[in-house]
Structures are given as structure tokens and as C-alpha cells.
Amino acid sequence: MKKIRKGDRVRVIAGNDRGKIGRVLAIYPERGRAIVENVHMITKHQRATQTLRQPGIVKREGTINLSNLLTICPECDEPTRVGFMEVDGKKLRRCKQCGENFE
């Protein structure tokens, strides 16, 4: 079970975007990276295709290392480390600060 999942609110703790908060849009566990909403914006020069894509320069989110992210607890609304707790045979994520379980 991973500590950060798609849809989690996270805070960036290192790099140029330090302090920014956003939702996780995608996780790449084999590379140890994630895409976070409005964080690490990159410019991509995009070529036109026969279908819907228009040519031009597009800004989009780049990947960021998972070690630079902290999950924000939905209960106490603070950035926290994530622990695990087993309840009724299910492994739940747990906030290290307030002790509440979440999903």
C-alpha cells in the first residue's frame, strides 16, 4: 500500500514550488514520481496531429519526486507523515499527528 494516492491533497516540501498545495493527478510508482495539480508547470512544444490537437506551446504539469511531497490529513488539515494501521483485516492509512484513519 502506498502512502500517497491519486486524489490526495499534498504539500510540496522541497524545490522551486515549496509550499504549494495541490491534488495528485497521477502516480508513477515504478519511477517514484507524481503529477500534482498546478505544481512544476512545464512548457511543451506540441506538434499538430490529424485529430484534435492544435499546434503551439502548451503549459502543463510535470512530474515531481514522491519524496518531495507530504500528504495533508483530511481531518486536521495539516501536512503529515502517513502511518499504517490494521483494522478488521484491512490496512488503513493513519495520520501521525492527530491519529485519525483515512481511507
Residue with cell 522551486: 16
State the pTM of this model: 0.84
Q: How far apart are alpha carbons 60 and 91 in whole angstroms?
A: 34
Q: Could you list the mean pLDDT of each consecutive 10-residue stretch along the chain, which spans 103 residues?
A: 89 95 96 95 88 84 95 91 89 88 80
**pLDDT given for residue 34 in this prediction:** 97
**pLDDT given for residue 1 in this prediction:** 59
Which domains does the chain carry?
9-77 (2.30.30)
Q: How do 41-46 and 56-61 pair as beta strands? A: antiparallel
**pLDDT given for residue 62 in this prediction:** 95
Which residues, in sequence order, are CB contacts of 70 under 8 Å at separation 6+? 10, 11, 13, 79, 80, 81
